[in-house]
Amino acid sequence: MAPFCKKCVSELILAIPADSYADVLATFNSHHDTLKFTLEKLSYNSDPFLDTLIITVNQRLINDWY
């Protein structure tokens, strides 16, 4: 899966290589003293984002509505 970043208002979803989590988080958090980002990794090949569930199947992303 190719890396990507999508934003909706104040929510971000990223697909990045597993070995770059710490670097990406440090980069985002270094831009402003009062803004602090957190990181949630996919659990069980799915992750909620806004009103959808993002599911990873065979290196593809599938959206499912709640």
Whether the per-residue pLDDT at 48 is higher than 80: the answer is yes
Mean pLDDT over residues 41-60, rounded?
85
For residue range 17-45, list pLDDT tens digits in order.
889 889 989 999 999 999 898 888 777 88
Residue 31: DSSP 8-state: S
Rounded to two decimals, the pTM is: 0.66
| Contact between residue 5 and residue 13 where contact means Cβ atoms under 8 Å apart | yes
The distance in angstroms from the start CA to the end CA of the chain is 24
